[in-house]
Structure 1
Amino acid sequence: MKNKLVMLMMILLVAIALAGAVALVYVLKYTNQEPGSEPSIEQVLDVSVDIPEITTNLASDGFVRISFKIQTDSKKAKKELEQRMFQVNNIIILELSDKTAENIKGREGQKQFEEELKTQINEIMQEGKVEKVYITQFILQ
């Protein structure tokens, strides 16, 4: 009885190790990158969506002209984001309408705004997620 139990545990451990090795080989072969490494620029561009220039009023008397590139985690997520462009534009406009020029002026303000957009857009995504939001044009007046 004891021998059968030990043999069964050994078979299960070997099977689990083999499944893990197969999964690792698959990931390394088909993603063409090392675990934990950054994706290549080609991979980033393949899953990124450009948000055309938006001009809108701020909560203060000024206005902003801004455009973005949004990086997703997969091609499916990119396709979904392209279909949800009207929702993304709405999120951007609503977020900007609550901001003053002081809120989004400077590096820290823009970084915080990028993170806020990422969080808001991820709330509507179903087929993946947004990895990074990049501000590609920014004019504040």
Structure 2
Amino acid sequence: MGKMKILIILVLVLASAGAGAFFFLGKDAEGSSDKEKQPTAEELAAMSIDTDIITTNLASPNFGIVQFNILLDSEKAKEEAEKRTPEVRAAIISTVAGFTKEELVGADGIAMLEEQLKGKLVEIMQTGKVERVLVTEFKVQ
């Protein structure tokens, strides 16, 4: 019975040591949590571009005035996007022109516009990746 108690104690000690090691080694090399990995405002600004305000006709007899903020995954990707301004602008115009006024109304319409534009921009970019597209100005008349 004495050996059985020692064996049980040994198993418990090893299990708790393993759990402790898992907890501490589960963090990244700097020991930071997920919340600390969020980019700062300066980092976001260094990796994003704002488009010009663009006015274009819609699929319905209306027109839209839009502006976007495009967040890229690196400064190299930002440089490429800036060099591809005519292609980015054409993608915006063709995407917005494919919608009717009714389709763009509300949060769902804006989200759909952002998602479709992101898809077109992903096809254009060769270096880096488009992280997100945000509508920063939006008017339909």
Q: TM-score range by the shorter chain?
A: 0.7 to 0.9
1:32-81, Cα deviation, whole Å (9 max, x unpaired): x7557321211111100010100000010000011011000000000000
For residues 139 and 62 of structure 1, the distance between their equivalents in structure 2, rounded to whole angstroms, comes to: 10
Q: 1:97 to 1:87 in 2, by over 3 A?
A: same
* Equivalent position of 2:115 in the other structure: 115
* Equivalent position of 1:16 in the other structure: none
Q: Which amino acid aligns with 1:129?
A: K
* Equivalent position of 2:78 in the other structure: 78
1:93 equivalent in alignment to 2:93: yes
- The structure 1 segments of at least 4 consecutive aligned residues displaced by more than 3 Å after TM superposition are 33-37
Q: In structure 2, the residue corresponding to 1:88 is in which secondary structure?
A: helix
For residues 135 and 49 of structure 1, the distance between their equivalents in structure 2, rounded to whole angstroms, comes to: 12
Q: Which amino acid aligns with 2:48?
A: S
Q: 1:44 to 1:34 in 2, by over 3 A?
A: farther
For residues 92 and 54 of structure 1, the distance between their equivalents in structure 2, rounded to whole angstroms, comes to: 8
Q: In structure 1, the residue corresponding to 2:53 is in which secondary structure?
A: strand
- TM-score, reference length from structure 1: 0.74
Deviates more, 1:131-140 or 1:35-44: 35-44
Which structure has the larger Rg over C-alpha atoms?
A: 2
The gaps in structure 1 that reach 5 residues or longer are 1-23
For residues 129 and 90 of structure 1, the distance between their equivalents in structure 2, rounded to whole angstroms, comes to: 18
* Equivalent position of 1:64 in the other structure: 64
* Equivalent position of 2:13 in the other structure: none
Once the two structures are superposed, the pairs formed by residues 13-24 of structure 1 within 5 Å of their partners are none
Give percent identity, aligned residues only.
40
Q: 1:91 to 1:109 in 2, by over 3 A?
A: same
For residues 45 and 61 of structure 1, the distance between their equivalents in structure 2, rounded to whole angstroms, comes to: 36
For residues 113 and 38 of structure 2, the distance between their equivalents in structure 1, rounded to whole angstroms, comes to: 23
Cα RMSD for the two superposed structures: 2.0
- TM-score, reference length from structure 2: 0.74
